Structure 1
Amino acid sequence: MRSTNTFSILFFVNKKKKNDDQALLYARITVDGKRVNLSLKRKIDISLWDATKKRARGSSSEARQINLYLDQTHTQLFQCYQDLKFKGELITAQLIKASYGGELETSKTLQELIDYHTRKIESTLAPGTIINFGITENYIKRFLKTSLKTTDVFLKQLDYKFICDFETFLHKYWPKGHPKAMNHNTVMKHLQRLRKMV
């Protein structure tokens, strides 16, 4: 498998979508000859755009702001490329675009995972098992709310500390209507279910 990729970023304006001499700015990401276009959600006066330098021309406040924005975008896109390269993952223009837009799996949340898992097991597991997963999900939500003061976390935050803190929470939690707190085996069952979800 190839370990190196050709990679480039090019900025341009889309004159086909101009409105009152204003056109949208785009970044073109190219990896190994395959490219995708990324809308930067910003407009520029066509007369300000230098098609040769791929930057806004002049030293006006607007031109400086646009060029600064382009420099920042270039840095962020290059960082997305470097991150994929560092992890030894597949590098494509589409993946860099997705990473920049926060669409990769690392940007998914625990709640999104739980919702997906719940839909997935609806018709595949026994009713009792589904109920048990539901109980574990409720404990996860309670842990997030009481211990982390939030309703959700990114999947990339599910590190060793998160698991240890969740285990401690379960050991200390006294379920309503139960004569005592959870025993070790029950806690381990909940951790196993979280692992299966992930």
Structure 2
Amino acid sequence: MKNSISILFYIKKSKADTRGNSNIYLRITVDGRRSEMSIRRKVPINRWNSRTGVLMGQSNDAKVINEHLAAIRSKIYKIHNRFLDDGKHVSADRVLNSFLGLDNEKRMLLEVFEEHNSNVNSLVGKDFAHGTAERYRTAKKHVEGYIKLNYKSNDIPIADVNYRFISGLEYYLKTERNCSHNTAVKYITNFKKIIRIALANDWISKDPFLRWKARMKVVDREFLTQEEIQELLDTNFRVSRLDQVRDIFIFCCFTGLAYADVKKLTNDDIVLGIDGEKWIETKRTKTNTKSNIPLLPTAIQILQKYAFSKDVSQNRVLPVLTNQKMNAYLKEIAHLSGIKKNLTTHLARHTFATTVTLSNGVSIESVSKMLGHKSLRTTQHYAKILNRRVSEDMQMLRKKFRTEDSFSGSSSQNKI
């Protein structure tokens, strides 16, 4: 039975003193795990009943010892029942610590997590972005769900977090929450910060993440081809909301702006660059890094289209809907345009990095700067995607060469 407890009093005959007396030990067992201590009482080993765990006889000292043992047993059962009633995590160590009056020093995992999240929330817009705060809130919710499902408790001491807890959390995220490998790793990495806080405050002595390694799987991100972009531009949407969402999506394809950045874009962010042309100068919401982007003709046309739109307010330049609505309408747009890929607001950013810039000879350093990446390594991932594109193009070229008569047989040696 989960959270079952057993209490045993015993002596160690091998450790008896010269008078034949031995200490009484208390052993608490919860779910097969033990915690022990000496109760600092000695009894004659020849008068100890190991089967019942009491001192034999009717003497006054026997009555005092046995009453003391009964009081300890009763107190421990009450502690155990209180933990169960409060929905708290039950372990042999925790019951014993509570009996000894040491449980007040125990820091609870979700309590620490909530304190951290409250601090992050108060610093949104200063040290943290809204998206970062939201990820920590979601990570805490997942950890809470994992504890309730696997530990049948509302919270556990942060000292009880071990490698088994972490690997179990990863399995929970992938199965119960249906997270991809990389998403699960990101949530656990968020959770890892709470453990670092515990280590820094000496609430725990060992790092349970010591043997757990965050290994991200390389994922080829989708992007639109030039033909697919043109298909979107050529499709006539009879519904104005779809036309509007398509325009915002195309604008992101030609600027590389993420959803949060295009939503907050204002007229103040549109400036004249060093070349006398219009640029976007803004800071990325996610990383707070600068992003300077020269505006291409398609992007300028979209800005002009909505320059006097009633749907644009608060000095914003485009009528951007919520991300949830944008992604929902983009699925409808993909269906009407005959595009088989899963259109999302972030896919537009990938399209800018690949089809619009790198494929047209823009240097990876320039692309990295426009995207607002902190490291060139982040941008290099898009170059790897282009290697696949090169392979596909060369496969087409090989097929063309095979079908050309001028390259067949011995004549190919003379023609090349």
Of 8, 11, 18 in structure 1, the residue corresponding to residue 16 of structure 2 is 18
Q: Paired residues, what number?
A: 106
**1:74 is matched by which residue type in structure 2?**
R
Deviation, 1:11, is 0.7
SS of alignment partner, residue 16 of structure 1: helix
**2:78 is matched by which residue type in structure 1?**
Q
Counterpart of 2:7 in structure 1 is 9
**2:12 is matched by which residue type in structure 1?**
N
SS of alignment partner, residue 40 of structure 1: strand
Aligned-residue identity in percent: 28
Please give the alpha-carbon distance, in whole angstroms, between the structure 2 residues aligned to 1:41 and 1:107: 25
Deviation, 1:16, is 3.0
Counterpart of 2:34 in structure 1 is 35
Q: How big is each residue's C-alpha offset from its partner over 1:42-96, in whole Å with a ceiling of 9 and x where there is no partner? A: 1111111011121111111111111111100100111111121121111000000
Deviation, 1:36, is 1.2
Please give the alpha-carbon distance, in whole angstroms, between the structure 2 residues aligned to 1:16 and 1:100: 27
Larger radius of gyration: 2
Deviation, 1:107, is 9.2
SS of alignment partner, residue 11 of structure 2: strand
Are the equivalent residues in 2 in contact too, given 1:23–1:44 (CA < 8 A)? yes
Q: How big is each residue's C-alpha offset from its partner over 1:125-167, in whole Å with a ceiling of 9 and x where there is no partner? A: xxxxxxxxxxxxxxxxxxxxxxxxxxxxxxxxxxxxxxxxxxx
SS of alignment partner, residue 96 of structure 1: helix
**1:104 is matched by which residue type in structure 2?**
D
Are the equivalent residues in 2 in contact too, given 1:22–1:45 (CA < 8 A)? yes
Q: How big is each residue's C-alpha offset from its partner over 1:114-134, in whole Å with a ceiling of 9 and x where there is no partner? A: xxxxxxxxxxxxxxxxxxxxx
**2:42 is matched by which residue type in structure 1?**
K
Are the equivalent residues in 2 in contact too, given 1:48–1:63 (CA < 8 A)? no
Please give the alpha-carbon distance, in whole angstroms, between the structure 1 residues aligned to 2:39 and 2:56: 18
Please give the alpha-carbon distance, in whole angstroms, between the structure 2 residues aligned to 1:96 and 1:16: 28
Which structure has the highest strand share of the two? 1
Please give the alpha-carbon distance, in whole angstroms, between the structure 1 residues aligned to 2:14 and 2:82: 34
Please give the alpha-carbon distance, in whole angstroms, between the structure 1 residues aligned to 2:56 and 2:23: 16
Structure scoring higher RCO (CA < 8 A, sep ≥ 6) equals 1
Counterpart of 1:52 in structure 2 is 51
Counterpart of 2:87 in structure 1 is 88
Please give the alpha-carbon distance, in whole angstroms, between the structure 2 residues aligned to 1:50 and 1:56: 6
Counterpart of 2:103 in structure 1 is 104
1:19-168 alignment, distance < 5 Å: 19=17, 20-105=19-104
Deviation, 1:15, is 2.0
Please give the alpha-carbon distance, in whole angstroms, between the structure 2 residues aligned to 1:93 and 1:71: 19
- For structure 1, the residue ranges without an aligned partner over 5 or more in a row are 109-198
Q: TM-score, normalised by structure 2?
A: 0.24
Which one is further off, 99-108 or 49-58?
99-108
- For structure 2, the residue ranges without an aligned partner over 5 or more in a row are 108-416
Distance 1:107 1:63, change over 3 A: farther
Please give the alpha-carbon distance, in whole angstroms, between the structure 2 residues aligned to 1:33 and 1:75: 20
Please give the alpha-carbon distance, in whole angstroms, between the structure 1 residues aligned to 2:106 and 2:94: 13
Q: TM-score, normalised by structure 1?
A: 0.50
Distance 1:107 1:35, change over 3 A: closer
Deviation, 1:27, is 1.1
SS of alignment partner, residue 5 of structure 1: coil
